[in-house]
Homo-oligomer: A and B are copies of this chain.
């Protein structure tokens, strides 16, 4: 049982992925759901996006058991035009629906040059970058957004409004890994606040607010996050709105203030969430070769650009590839709560823990 110098359990990637699949199948999901949900969680865990990694396994098991998530959804694609479709996810797992939407969008973009799929009746889809990366690995430029339950105040707002509404964009870079942007439209992830809380440290200014919407640096007082942008938070709030509009308004699904909280207590009602994917084929623009060459030149200039003292200029994704290299070599760290949850799941289903 591997562990690192701080005593954190380390799980090899393939065993961890298989464990997630085995647990989900034991819960009663179909194989497509188990593979998609495991794939999305592993994207998070491999790349260091631990908030959207395998710590979600236990949560998802609860959502399948409670009936919030459909274990064997019957996904229905309605192609509305040459480049567009609506996908009804039948209240299945968000990863199952979003990988399927990316597949359809890639196929349609291969024909029309560009395509979009609006997803209906879906659920939490985890790390947005998992889906844009899947498209980039097929030579496409992709943009994926979703909304989520209210947790971010508006600019000049004093209550929770948008979710952390992520935006991810990826495209092939001509390198092993794509160019990959995956950002919440909040100033910080809530996990960052929880980290400061556990360390009892003051937060940076202007990133979170108390229950009255007043900025606070006390991590224990945080009741909502600020939109990204600080004094210019109307930009972050506008970007959160962009994700909200594509995900919820263009699909007719729930707005963030209307979405049931992820953590329950109701784990039986479907959350009726939307999401949205868009795919562009570089071959329908300057051409795949020229776009790859352009990305190479862009990334070369960017990484060679002068850095601040003691810092390094990185392209979106560069930090993630570094983490992935290390974790694939040394194993994926599993936090103590997740170790405990996985042990309970392994005991219940007669499986071996992956660490």
Give me the interface of A with B, judged by CB distance under 8 Å.
80-84, 86, 111-116, 118, 141, 154-159, 161, 169, 171, 179, 181, 183, 187-188, 204, 206-207, 213-214, 228-232, 234-239, 241-242, 244-245, 248-252, 255, 257, 278, 280-282, 284-287, 290-291, 294-295, 297-298, 301-302, 305-308, 311-316
Asked if A82 and B241 make an inter-chain contact with CB atoms under 8 angstroms apart, the answer reads no
Classify the secondary structure of A's interface with B: mixed
Q: How far is the CB of A195 from chain B (nearest CB, A)?
A: 15
| In the complex with contacts A154-B313, A238-B183, A249-B294, A112-B84 CB distance below 8 A | yes
14 contacts between A and B (CB under 8 A): A80-B113, A80-B284, A81-B111, A118-B285, A154-B313, A156-B308, A171-B245, A179-B241, A206-B230, A228-B228, A228-B229, A241-B316, A248-B294, A250-B285
Question: CB-nearest residue of chain B relative to A252?
Answer: B286
New contact pairs (6) apart from A112-B114, A188-B232, A257-B301, CB-CB < 8 Å:
A80-B113, A114-B278, A158-B306, A171-B245, A250-B294, A278-B278
Of the residues B82, B229, B242, B294, contact of A229 by C-beta under 8 Å: B229
Question: CB-nearest residue of chain B relative to A284?
Answer: B84
Return chain B residues, CB-CB under 8 Å to A158: 305-308
A290 to B255, CA, bound (A): 13
Of the residues B250, B294, B305, contact of A154 by C-beta under 8 Å: B305
Of the residues B80, B82, B206, contact of A82 by C-beta under 8 Å: B82
| In the complex with contacts A154-B313, A213-B306, A298-B255 CB distance below 8 A | yes
Asked if A252 and B294 make an inter-chain contact with CB atoms under 8 angstroms apart, the answer reads yes
A239 to B232, CA, bound (A): 15
